[in-house]
Amino acid sequence: MSCCLILVCSCASKKDIFYMQDAEKYNETAISYTNAKIQPNDVLRINVSALIPESTLPYNKVSSSTGNASIELMQLDGYLVSEDLTINFPVLGVLSVADKTTQEFGAFLKHKLETEGHLKNPSIDVRLVNAKVTVLGEVNHPGTFNFTEQNITLLQALGYAGDLTINGKREDILMMRDDNGVRKITHIDLTTSDWLDGEFYYIKPNDMIVVNPNEPKVKSAGFIGNVGTVLSVVSILLTTVVLITN
């Protein structure tokens, strides 16, 4: 019985479980922040302000919310990006957001309002309000999670999902991303730190993360689910053998 218990419990070692085991080599290295380009079906909240508030009224949507608006209300009040990467902006009409980040589009809108004589020295705030990431598989709380930060990392996204379970395959995290109409798929090994310098270090809106089960979990799913079950089966077999031999 003890032999069976040892075999079951010793399937994984710390090299299969510990994250970023070579992290020290990245100590005090520079971080390069990246901002995602605006994509179709993004919802943008655009706020135009100026020294004379009344002058900006034609360029702002009338908000249906007051006070601290929820994400859902901000999405309803936002601008939905069409499949051809345009939005319909008050007074200015159809504007292209193609190949622009929210900051770049804000700068573009400010320049347009100034140079066309609409407003003097306006301040433009553009935010993506429907950013989300989906985490599936061997995590404690799989699901789709909204975020409002400009940049979140892969580890933060996994944190939203309650971290990997002990059965998660840490050396093979599947990530899928739509980037300007092109699907990108990669595999991340969380037990190393090489991915810290890669393009998938930061999550982009609509990324999908899949944590597959490790080998012990796959094998147990097809036969016996846990240590308690193993012990019960072994105990029954031993009892049967004793009864037969006696």
CA–CA–CA angle 74, 75, 81 (5° rounding):
130
Task: Return the pLDDT at 223.
Answer: 54
- Phi and psi for 235 in degrees, rounded to 5? -60, -45
- The amino acid that residue 153 corresponds to is T
Banded pLDDT at 191 (limits 50, 70, 90): very high
Helices (runs of H) and strands (runs of E) counted in the chain: 7, 12
User: pTM higher than 0.85, yes or no?
Assistant: no
Give me the CATH topology for the region 14-26+131-213: Outer membrane lipoprotein wza fold like (3.10.560)
Give the range among 13-22, 58-67, 169-178, 196-205 with minimum mean pLDDT: 58-67
Question: Which residue would you say has higher pLDDT here, 71 or 177?
Answer: 177
Banded pLDDT at 2 (limits 50, 70, 90): very low
Banded pLDDT at 20 (limits 50, 70, 90): confident
- SS3 label, residue 242: helix
* Of 116, 113, 122, 119, residue with least CA distance to 49: 122
The secondary structure of 185-237, three-state, reads EEEECCCCCHHHHCCCCEECCCCEEEEEECHHHHHHHCCCCCHHHHHHHHHHH
Task: Return the pLDDT at 140.
Answer: 97
* pLDDT value at 231 more than 90: no
Question: Which residue would you say has higher pLDDT here, 13 or 196?
Answer: 196
Residue 175's H or E segment, with its range, is strand 168-179
Banded pLDDT at 222 (limits 50, 70, 90): low
R_g (Cα) of the chain, nearest Å: 26
* pLDDT value at 3 more than 50: no
Instruction: Round to whole Å and give the CA distance between 95 and 89.
Output: 7
Task: Return the pLDDT at 12.
Answer: 55
- Which CATH number describes the domain made up of 43-128? 3.30.1950.10
Residue for token digits 């699907």? Answer: 183
Banded pLDDT at 230 (limits 50, 70, 90): low
CA–CA distances in Å: residue 118 to residues 19, 46, 112: 53, 16, 8
* Domain limits, the chain: 14-26+131-213, 43-128
* pLDDT value at 160 more than 70: yes
> What is the pairing mode between strands 79-80 and 132-137?
unpaired
- Report pLDDT digits (tens) over 47-93: 999 999 999 999 998 765 545 667 777 778 899 999 999 999 999 99
* pLDDT value at 163 more than 60: yes
> What is the pairing mode between strands 93-96 and 86-89?
antiparallel
- Report pLDDT digits (tens) over 85-132: 999 999 999 999 999 999 999 999 999 999 999 999 999 999 999 999
- Phi and psi for 77 in degrees, rounded to 5? -90, 0
